[in-house]
Amino acid sequence: MNQAALNHHDERMPMFCFQCQEASKGVGCTIVGVCGKTPEVANLQDLLIFVLKGISFFSVGTELPESLERRTSVFMMDSLFATITNANFDRDVFVAKIREALALRDEVREHWEHQHPASQTLLPDAAVWHDSDEEALDAKAKEVGVLATADADIRSLRELLTYGLKGMAAYQYHAYQLNYTNREVEQFMQRALAATLDDALTADQMVALVMETGKFGVDAMAMLDQANTGVYGHPEVTKVNIGVRNRPGILVSGHDLKDLEELLQQTEGTGVDVYTHSEMLPAHYYPAFKKYEHFVGNYGNAWWKQASEFESFNGPILMTTNCIVPPKPSYVKRIFTTGNTGYPGLRHIPEGVDGQPKDFSELIALAKQCPPPTELETGEIVGGFAHNTVTSIADQVVDAVKAGDIRRFFVMAGCDGRMKSRSYYTEFAQQLPRDTVILTAGCAKYKYNKLDLGEIGGIPRVLDAGQCNDSYSLAIIALKLKEILGLDDINELPISYNIAWYEQKAVIVLLALLYLGVKNIHLGPTLPAFLSPNVANVLVEQFGIGGISNVEDDMKMFLGAYA
């Protein structure tokens, strides 16, 4: 089966999902998600997106009361985020969200009808379908997924757009937790979702909308950067401990800094330590968190190793956002979810009442009964090279470039994953010449951030900007170097892009880079399954998008002209 052949939903196919890099056989998951998502949950996620499109149909161009507009934007953001890979596996959550979405759609529709009383617009199915019976939900969910769009290219562009919006929603969500919002971004997301219902849009018009998504992706990441740095300070160069102490601990994974802050406040003075895992590592770089003596260090590696690492941690684990994998029985009673994250049978920490902090007392009480973490490793890793830090030493970096000490930068941001082929990124980092520097963000760094790759004139050869959303920092750094070097085009910089991707936040980062004019980005370990051959060709021809092959050949390809 290939993209062109996916023209209808085969009834023998319980589900179809190809939104992440692990899409089965490079085409799509049809029996169960490689991530562990069941067909029922996969289909209900599709149905939730379907109803969100119906809400968007009515909200675009409609003046809503401020409270309803805010509620609609927050619900859209929250729901899109919940459908990201490895975020929420709980059927009941999606049934409840779909029912809430239907009620919200009807509320928005009332205002649309009042403002468009003579409208002869033919309403799309997403705007009118209504049934809250669970059997009816399941039946409808099987009809409205990816394959409901027959044309392979339009389908590809609609999904590329939708996945970009999912990633954008994740970044919006984190900013929203810190009381930062952007109405223009919120309105664009609804306009873009509504556009996926318009069969009159041509492929060229859809391509233009996808590129516009990149523009608003930049805006969303800029807002989150402003939120994080405004509340917690600009990241600083920091040595992070990767060992353990002889006290009980709580392990925090995911991305939400607000959850971490509230947990640190509630564990202070309790005798319980707090450790980060995977994408939460960059929290150590923020000045605001350094005052907590019990904020010990980082435990383990990227998200996909959690089965063994959560087992050996011995204490409670808090999953704040996507990254959860189906838990093992050995630690299932020690893992908690919060925010948009969920898994059947796990305890979920709800939002605080009336704006109050979440209540983490259950985790703290459990931690006190658990033994300290089993040590996995010792030592330190260095990070904190976000845009404020790097631009402050930009002259030093430029001098090193001009002197020939730094020949080239390699952006190796993105996601890590469990495929064995991802060892490519470790080997690539090891074989890079000693006069090159790696710029990274996201959990892709775990493939090489513990290697001893040395320094160049005091500048570490691995500069970690932070979480996946901090890829914005890498763009700001590139633009600053372009300015200092007096270049006309960002692509004239001595920077190559060899990016690993996994899920939808990587999609919005890619679209943001394309909007900023970056070309010749290489994606791996495989190109997205949701790109039809024609759409892939557009990206190749217009932006020079490429894949990867093997370290030896790719090294020649990247460095051949600069040897």
> Which of 48, 81, 36 is CA-nearest to residue 339?
81
What per-residue string of b and e applies to 368-379 under the rule 16 or more CB within 10 Å gives b? eebebbeebeee
Longest distance between any two alpha carbons in the chain, whole Å: 71
**Pairing between strand 347-349 and 335-338?**
parallel
Q: What whole-number distance in Å separates Cα of residue 405 and Cα of residue 317?
A: 44
Q: How far is CA 321 from the centre of its chain?
A: 9
Q: What whole-number distance in Å separates Cα of residue 178 and Cα of residue 180?
A: 6
> Which of 318, 326, 346 is CA-nearest to residue 254?
318
Count the neighbouring beta carbons within 10 Å of the beta carbon of residue 364.
18
Q: Three-class SS of residue 372?
A: coil
Binding region for hybrid [4Fe-2O-2S] cluster: 255, 279, 323, 415, 443, 468, 503, 505
With tokens 């995911």, the residue in question is 254
**What is the number of residues in the chain?**
563
CB-based contacts of 365, cutoff 8 Å, min separation 6: none
Binding region for [4Fe-4S] cluster: 17, 20, 29, 35
Residue 209 exposure: Cα atoms within 13 Å on the Cβ side:
26
Binding region: 17, 20, 29, 35, 255, 279, 323, 415, 443, 468, 503, 505
